[in-house]
Copies of this chain bind each other. A is one copy, B any other.
Amino acid sequence: NVAEKKSEARNPTVRVVELTDDTEDPAVWGKNFPAEYDLYKRTTDMVRTKHGGSEAIPHTPTAQDPRTVTSQSKTDADPRLKTMWAGYAFAADFREERGHAYTLDDQIFTQRQVVAKQPGTCGQCHASVYVPMKKLGNGDIFKGFEALNKMPYSEAKQHFKHPVSCIDCHDSQTMALRVTRPGFIEGIRAFKASQGVQNYDPNTMATRQEMRAYVCGQCHVEYYFKGPEKRLTFPWSKGMKADQIVAYYDEVGFRDWTHKETGAPTLKAQHPEFEMWNQGIHARSGVACADCHMPYMRVGGTKVSDHWVRSPVLNLNRACQGCHKWPEEELKARVEAIQDKHLELREQAFDALVALIGDLKAAKEAGKTDAELEKARFLQRRAQFLFDFVEAENSTGFHAPQEAARVLFESIDASRQGQLTLRDPSFKPTVAVVTIPPPPPAPAPGIQPAALTK
């Protein structure tokens, strides 16, 4: 009805409730913004694309895990993942990620919580923590952040009421985008400093367009827990490229765990969508996450951002066609052409990594000394981190095709050189081998060694 649409259009935001900086419940926000809220709730839907989206797998509820539906298990689908992560919680359970509605449940009920005691820091990216942080810090989110980080997950959990929610991205008064995560604020400050920009503050210095990616960069990033206080840290002070990040870890001598089969000081990479996107032509062209994953759509007489955050392949018309006049079928084919090519390299780099792990294991079992194995172990660490960086990145190469291929190239070269050092002790690797110190002996109270967290 035209008259109705026109009135909606003139009055797009009827404020029926008063929102404050303490309003946590998205349903309350939804009273003022029903269109966004209805879409937000649809993130429960599970639809598969060729290489993304997610698939609903029925699950028989148990006491430990009451979920009736989960997403597909990646470790079951590709057992090489278990070899790569041997001795680490990820080997126990790693699944395809799904919509924002599940962020909290999937974290609480993952088997990784069973095989290892996880820290409260985890909540930063899976729960609505803005209000809890404020409360715990008496108004200072950094203080609250520190308090949450240090708790065991089981305790921190008591403070979590919602999955990622409106207040995590928006200012309640202006609805402007806002970065609420200390981890991102510190990470981007370190990154900008590496580029010569001092004291960067995204909330006052970023453009609106940048904020349309920064709010996502609060979570869709590589991270680690620094020191015994488990401070959530984004390792960007040398830059955001995979090799710059691994160089950072080498410098600080960090390991996530010690590989069970080989004894290598290994690193796990997680969902570096923000970092990869940053290397691609879309970022360079000013195209932000929200442009593709939350494109505008018309609801009644106005345009709203599609808060059903999901694979753009399920939404090609709005996500791509504004900028690319190709038919939907062609756009889909372009995404898949990039992804298929990417997966070819992924397969091969993965096989090489697993071959190195096998060779190392055999060498260790054959009685080679730590000194004899050091080079190969370091190369395993590097090959795996680089491989995992690309593997954990969820766009299957799309966000930055040339860069993803470059990282896989570096990974396979490291794997093959690792195999060479085992067969020929005189072989000189092309990267300098760094000695990684042993993990700290005393775990923080209530939390397992770093070796088992994440």
Chain A residues within CB distance 8 Å of chain B: 281, 284-285, 326, 334, 337-338, 341-342, 344-345, 348-349, 351-352, 397, 401-403, 405-406, 408-409, 412-413, 416-417, 419-420, 423-424, 427, 430
Contact = CB atoms under 8 A, between A and B. Distances in A.
Number of copies: 2
A351 B409 CA distance: 14
Contacts of A334: 281, 284
Interface class of chain A by DSSP: helix
Contact of A416 (B284, B338, B420): B420
A351 B431 CA distance: 13
A412 B341 CA distance: 17
Contacts of A420: 416, 419-420, 423
A413 to B, nearest CB: 5
Contacts of A412: 409, 412-413, 416
A351 B420 CA distance: 15
A416 B427 CA distance: 12
Closest 6 CB pairs of A and B: A416-B416, A405-B405, A401-B402, A423-B423, A409-B409, A423-B424
A334 B334 CA distance: 21
B351 A406 contact: no
A413 B355 CA distance: 13
A402 to B, nearest CB: 4
Contacts of A423: 420, 423-424, 427
Contacts of A408: 409
Nearest to A412: B413
Given A334-B281, A334-B284, A401-B401, A341 B416 contact: no
Contacts of A341: 402-403, 406
